């Protein structure tokens, strides 16, 4: 039987098992003011700060560089805490070799084919950084920018407002985009992300978060025994460059059917052409709910061994599930262990890849006078 998370957290705190990086114990409700510390300096001398938050039994560390989630700690069914987000313990590795660990992604999450799109009759050439494609905003996307950070407390919630202004032409994108992203830890320990953006010229935007999850704990090994459920009857197959073909294919009868929870490793090594091309799962699921006014539950991830679970709610129409196919043992996390293929996974809420070149996909166009708004909520269980 799965225990109530609040009961587990309260028990852990009572037993003195919830010592935190902030020097205290976790509580089921009532967060502390975020704590700011120097994490490092960039080559040009720019200071990068780490912000530590704690609320409702969840502990979060965020960097001003890339809005990166450097760690996220939650308890297991016995109240034992672990960091469930892959990353590094130093700024140099984030700058030199991070595969988007924990980062805020923009201006456009996922891929745009050949780094080109046409908007209102004008062609735009973007930064190309993934073969022939533009990936996650180009060579220097939002993940490689230093964000202005403003901490806040609101009632029983704590969080951070992150601000970045992307100038007209940055990475080839038109318009000056003013972006605000809010990370909130609620009194129940949920991690909520609210994205907002405005522009002074017509542009495209698709913001997301690129946390690499391993609910057994960072550096603990494969996620293939994690159980995943996605509320989607279709997905978007890709070509050899991992660009959607435009088809909305049915998942029924394929390895892509996660309508009922199943272990990720059950079908990952089948000979399905899409799995062969991507070396695993690296696809966008078309959520059955579509675009909604409010976040709705779309996916559940669970680690049977620890009992930890993650539920994701969003108002976005798509979910990119990436099974860590390109982790190759060359990166070392805070645990001192290397990350190999399938040692972490991503669940990125978003609009579809290459939407600017696919008129039948939901539009990612943002125009002056409009405000881009989207929300994703992560709810943790044990």
Residues with active-site annotation: 210, 348
In whole angstroms, give the CA distance from residue 54 to residue 159.
9
Tokens 């073909």 sit on residue: 245
In whole angstroms, give the CA distance from residue 336 to residue 300.
28
Residue pair 52/21 in contact by the 8 Å Cβ criterion: yes
Residue pair 231/310 in contact by the 8 Å Cβ criterion: no
Both tokens assigned to 174: 């038109």
In whole angstroms, give the CA distance from residue 104 to residue 98.
13
- Cα separations (Å) of 233 from 213, 216, 298, 347? 23, 28, 12, 17
- Which of 155, 158, 160, 179 minimizes the C-alpha distance to 69? 160
In whole angstroms, give the CA distance from residue 86 to residue 222.
12
Both tokens assigned to 229: 């459920």
Between vectors from CA 172 to CA 166 and to CA 176, what angle results, nearest 5°? 30
- Which of 156, 199, 157, 196 minimizes the C-alpha distance to 180? 196
Residue positions counted in the chain: 382
- Which of 27, 206, 192 minimizes the C-alpha distance to 117? 206
Residue pair 195/163 in contact by the 8 Å Cβ criterion: no
In whole angstroms, give the CA distance from residue 345 to residue 352.
18
């Amino acid at each position: 039987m799965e225990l109530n998370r609040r009961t587990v957290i309260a028990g852990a705190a009572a037993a003195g098992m919830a010592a935190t990086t902030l020097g205290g114990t976790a509580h089921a409700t009532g967060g502390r003011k975020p704590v700011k510390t120097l994490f490092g300096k960039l080559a040009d001398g720019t200071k990068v700060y780490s912000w530590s938050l704690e609320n409702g039994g969840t502990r979060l560390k965020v960097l001003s560089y890339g809005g990166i989630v450097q760690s996220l700690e939650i308890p297991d069914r016995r109240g034992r805490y672990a960091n469930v987000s892959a990353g590094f313990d130093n700024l140099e590795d984030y700058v030199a070799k991070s595969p988007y660990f924990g980062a805020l992604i923009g201006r456009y999450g996922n891929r745009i084919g050949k780094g080109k799109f046409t908007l209102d009759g004008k062609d735009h050439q973007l930064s190309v950084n993934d073969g022939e494609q533009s990936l996650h905003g180009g060579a220097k996307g939002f993940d490689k920018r230093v964000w202005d950070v403003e901490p806040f407390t609101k009632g029983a919630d704590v969080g951070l407002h992150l601000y970045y202004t992307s100038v007209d032409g940055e990475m080839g994108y038109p318009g000056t985009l003013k972006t605000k992203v809010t990370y909130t830890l609620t009194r129940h320990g949920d991690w909520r992300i609210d994205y907002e953006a405005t522009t002074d010229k017509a542009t495209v935007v698709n913001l997301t978060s690129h946390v690499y999850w391993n609910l057994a704990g960072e550096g603990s090994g494969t996620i293939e025994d994690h159980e995943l459920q996605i509320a989607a009857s279709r997905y978007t197959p890709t070509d050899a460059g991992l660009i959607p073909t435009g088809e909305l294919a049915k998942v029924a009868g394929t390895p892509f059917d996660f309508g009922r929870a199943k272990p990720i490793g059950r079908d990952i090594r089948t000979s399905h052409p899409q799995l062969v091309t991507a070396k695993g799962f690296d696809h966008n699921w078309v959520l059955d709910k579509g675009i909604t006014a409010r976040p709705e539950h779309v996916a559940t991830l669970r680690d049977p061994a620890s009992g930890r679970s993650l539920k994701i709610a969003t108002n976005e129409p798509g979910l990119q599930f990436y099974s860590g196919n390109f982790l190759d043992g060359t990166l070392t996390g805070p645990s001192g262990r290397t990350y190999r293929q399938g040692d972490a996974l991503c669940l990125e809420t978003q609009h579809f890849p290459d939407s600017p070149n696919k008129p039948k996909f939901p539009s990612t166009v943002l125009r002056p006078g409009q405000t881009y708004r989207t929300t994703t909520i992560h709810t943790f269980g044990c």
